[in-house]
A and B are shown apart, each in its own frame.
Chain A
Amino acid sequence: MDRYSRRLPVFLNLAQIRFPIGAIASIAHRVSGVLLFIALPVLAVLLDASLRDEAGFASVRGLFSSPLSLVVAGVLAWALVHHVLAGIRHLLMDVGIGGELERARTSARLVLIAAPALAVLLLVWGLS
């Protein structure tokens, strides 16, 4: 690289770039992954509490009563569902299924729409 490039500007304003639907599904895949990673230690702690004694089990159960925890649970439900669905899309593309542009666009759209829908179902089921 010549020294010139260090002084030269670069156009990289993401807000001015028009991303295809696949890119949206992809960044959501990454964000959902990070959210799930943050939830992992919490999950481990909850597992431990639920196995410790009756009181611990009850307190884990009682967690989902507050509106804040509901929001958190909702976001994590979306994160899990989206990450799994987008992951399946990637695994299928790995073995050559759905890699063509039109099919990839369709599957991206499908994942983006199905994820919040299934997440709501998951949340409702989990609370019952």
Chain B
Amino acid sequence: MRLFAGQRAWVVQRISAVLLLALIVLGVLALPFAPPLEFAGWRAFAGGVLGGPLIALLFGALCAHAWVGLRDIVLDYIQPRGLRLAVLSLIAVVLLGVLVRVLLSLAAAALST
């Protein structure tokens, strides 16, 4: 099952980690220059051409990274095939749900501005 090829998952985990690290550093550096946090400004940022894609990228990388990490945990501790598949599917559903929810929120924010 090529989807579970060892190296690919490991590379995805490492690349998403570096990406997340870069986004965190970016966030930390941008913080002193950010205006005080209030609704209109926040929504304008999240719905804007910079903020929207950044937040989407953040959650995309988070979900990819979380998927590999949690899959590793399941593969370590759960041996019975059926149970393993069930748990992995549940985790996949949760992560996809998170991604969809975030993209919808961002889209709504973009449309409102």
Contact = CB atoms under 8 A, between A and B. Distances in A.
A and B touch in the complex (CB under 8 A): yes
Contacts, number: 67
Contacts of A50: 39, 42
A28 B98 CA distance: 24
A33 B55 CA distance: 20
Given A34-B70, A34-B73, A51 B109 contact: yes
Dominant SS among interface residues on chain A: helix
Contacts of B42: 50-51, 57
Contact of A88 (B21, B94, B104, B105): B21
B96 to A, nearest CB: 11
B21 A51 contact: no
A97 interface: no
Interface stretch (A8-16, A37-45, A106-114): A37-45
Dominant SS among interface residues on chain B: helix
A53 B43 CA distance: 9
Nearest to B106: A51
Categorize the interface residue count of chain B: 20 to 34
Contacts of A40: 62-63, 66, 94-95, 98
A36 interface: yes
A44 B17 contact: no
A91 B17 contact: yes
Categorize the interface residue count of chain A: 20 to 34
Given A57-B38, A84-B24, 6 more contacts: A37-B69, A41-B97, A41-B98, A51-B47, A52-B108, A84-B21
Interface of B: 14, 17-18, 21, 24, 38-39, 42-43, 46-47, 55, 59, 62-63, 66, 69-70, 73, 91, 94-95, 97-98, 101-102, 104-106, 108-109
